[in-house]
Amino acid sequence: PGSYYGEDGYGNLKGNKRRAVPHLEKYYGSDTFLSEALTLEAKKQITRAVQDKKPFFLDFAHYAVHSPFQSDPRFASHYEDSGKPKNAQAYATLIEGMDKSLGDILDHLESIGIAEDTLVLFVGDNGSDAPLGPVHDHASSFPLRAKKGTHYEGGMRVPFIASWAKPSAQNKIQKRLPIPAGAIQRQFGTVMDIYPTVLSVTGVQPPSGHTLDGTDLKTQIEGKQDSGREEQFLMHFPHKHRSSYFTSYRDGDWKIIYHYRPNDNPAKTRYELFNLVTDPYENENVAQSKPKVLKRMMASLTASLQAESALYPVDANGSEMHPEVP
Per residue in 214-243, pLDDT tens?
999 999 999 999 988 888 999 999 998 877
| Cβ atoms 33, 4 nearer than 8 A | yes
- Check residue 163 and give its pLDDT: 97
CB-based contacts of 180, cutoff 8 Å, min separation 6: 222, 223
| Banded pLDDT at 50 (limits 50, 70, 90) | very high
pTM (predicted TM-score)? 0.90
Query: How crowded is the C-beta side of 194, counted as CA atoms within 13 Å?
Result: 16
| Residue 275 reports pLDDT greater than 90 | yes
Number of residues assigned to the chain: 326
Q: Is 90 helix (H, G, I), strand (E, B) or coil?
A: helix
**What does the alpha-carbon distance between residue 304 and residue 155 come to, in Å, rounded to a whole number?**
21
| Cβ atoms 251, 295 nearer than 8 A | no
Residue-range domain boundaries for the chain: 1-113, 115-227, 231-326
- Check residue 260 and give its pLDDT: 95
| Banded pLDDT at 263 (limits 50, 70, 90) | confident
The least confident of 115-124, 140-149, 249-258, 284-293 is: 140-149
**Short-list 58, 197, 34, 59, CA closest to 114:** 58
- Check residue 134 and give its pLDDT: 76
| Banded pLDDT at 261 (limits 50, 70, 90) | very high
Q: Is 231-326 a domain of CATH 3.30.1120.10? A: yes
Helix or strand (DSSP H, E) at 163: strand 160-164
Residues 311-323 have a mean pLDDT of: 95
